[in-house]
A and B are shown apart, each in its own frame.
Chain A
Amino acid sequence: MLWKTQIPVAIVFAVGMLTLIQWFVPHWPFDQIQVHTTQWFDIIAVFAVILGGLNLLKLQLQKVISRGRDWPYALVTIVGFLAMMVYGFSPVGVPEGIRLGDHLQANGSHFRWMFFNVFTPLSATMFALLAFFVASASYRAFRVRNAEATLLLVAGIILMLGRVPLGAKMTAFLPHFMQLPTVQEWIYAVPNLAGARAIMIGIGLGMVSTSLRFILGIEKSFLGGDE
């Protein structure tokens, strides 16, 4: 109980209060708190990556060894993981005259080649899926079920067409205030902005309230072990 709850809650309280105080007290040493605590967090997070990496390797190796379902995918993961480790941390694939570390960005290094020719297209492919998923999701979900849904649908259509040259061309014959780019700009800048600001204020207050619950030890379930 002491180690699992009380000490962690005390640490949360102390660090939380210090972080809050430093915002209002610019004098040394309070001005150093935020920079240092953030760096501590980064250092801990970097070491924790090893934990995550080992967990990933363990699970994938188990799959390959036990020839579990879809095990070849696990093998691809392991090979990719090890390849990037070798190219990132060892002298393999480092061009002559380039220091280890600098090779990550250097022309001709295997790491850079992998980054631009394997990682980049794969990432771009995943991001590009959005184009297809936006189409399927709007096709499925935008229905004139009721007045609000209809409003959403009409606003969505105006935005989609108004943001591209085709929309401008389609409505070029209308007066300026009725042209799609003008209307979409208005939707963005007025009703959408009002809603976004309201949501952001609510989120801000929610964050303050949640943080306060953490600092004061009212909410401690995120620490586990309080049951």
Chain B
Amino acid sequence: MAGNNSFLVKMGQLDRRLVFVVIGIAVFLPLKFPIGLAVVTTPTTQDVFNAVDSIPEGSTVLVSFEYGPSTRPEIEPMAITLLRQLFNEKQKVVAMALWPDGQFMSTRVLERIADKEYGLKWGVDYVNLGYRPGQEAVIKGIAKDLRANYNSDVRNNPVEDLPIMDGIYTVKDFDFIFSLSAGYPGTVEWVLYAADPYGIPMSTGVTAIQVNEVIPYVKGGQIKGILAGMSGAAEYENLVKAGDATRFMDAQSVAHFLIVLFIILGNISYLVQRRKQTA
């Protein structure tokens, strides 16, 4: 009995490196050998899909890239799926970035989806305006005069020569805003300085860490739904078309399950110890 107890106590004091190894294996194995668990759509993801789906055909949508290489695995699947849904519905996409590395992210995703997958025309069906410094001041700036902030796209074409930009002079001329955000400046700034004051419909995809900060705006109706981290990306992919994030969800499922197991082990150990001390 005493032996059992000491074993249980030890279970609560595992070396953290052991925890890391177990989590590492738990993530790696499902990536290599997928289980194929069915993804269940949460209402907030469904709201994003519905909001994008209800944009009238031929509208111009502003997609802002506010993430970098570190958060790419979490946000890029959302970006890819979003572009697919928009292009399937024949929407025009204007991309921009509030993060310097956001421009690298947008360039890569647009090359892959707009150019190679859909064969769309730059400046007509989509365009990448790129990054401008100034954080939220860029949003405030384009709310007043977009062309003062962006006089050319990333390929140095003057904005007035781009057919897609006909009639787009301020952020209010966009029919929809989508912020792909991993922090500041990002979703919250888009809500505060563009979507809410000018009544532009908006939706977002964020890292799981950020959800807590953004959810009050979603529930307040200022943002139409939210893609919450990898699971949000997987659910969204499932609604549009399957891809990477759905595959990653197996790994996340197993990892979450193991973390819960570790917490339970830690608590059993804690309770055994406490009983020992009070006995």
Contact = CB atoms under 8 A, between A and B. Distances in A.
* A interface SS class: helix
B267 A166 contact: no
Interface in B138-197: 140-141, 144, 154, 156
A126 B141 contact: no
Contact of A144 (B229, B250, B253, B270): B270
B23 A135 contact: yes
Given A135-B262, A153-B267, A185 B137 contact: no
B263 A153 contact: yes
A31 B257 contact: no
Interface string A21-60: 0000000000100110011001000100000000000000
Contact of A132 (B23, B107, B267, B270): B23
A211 interface: no
B27 interface: yes
* B interface SS class: helix
A164 B252 contact: yes
A165 B69 contact: no
Nearest to A179: B40
B103 interface: yes
A168 B38 contact: yes
B47 to A, nearest CB: 12
A119 B104 CA distance: 12
Given A160-B259, A189-B215, A136 B16 contact: yes
Q: How large is the interface on B (under 10, 10 to 19, 20 to 34, 35 or more residues)?
A: 35 or more
Chain A to chain B: the 5 pairs with minimum beta-carbon distance, closest first:
A120-B69, A166-B253, A38-B137, A165-B37, A123-B70
Interface of B: 14, 16, 19-20, 23-24, 27, 37-40, 42-44, 68-73, 101, 103-104, 107-108, 133-135, 137, 140-141, 144, 154, 156, 208-209, 211-213, 215-216, 219, 228-229, 231, 234, 249-250, 252-260, 262-263, 265-267, 270-271
Interface of A: 31, 34-35, 38-39, 42, 46, 102, 105, 112, 115-116, 119-121, 123-124, 126-128, 130-132, 134-136, 138-140, 142-144, 153, 156-157, 160-161, 163-169, 181, 185, 188-189, 192-193, 196-197, 200
19 contacts: A35-B144, A38-B134, A42-B133, A42-B137, A115-B104, A116-B108, A121-B69, A124-B70, A124-B73, A132-B20, A132-B23, A135-B258, A139-B263, A139-B266, A160-B259, A165-B37, A166-B254, A166-B256, A189-B219
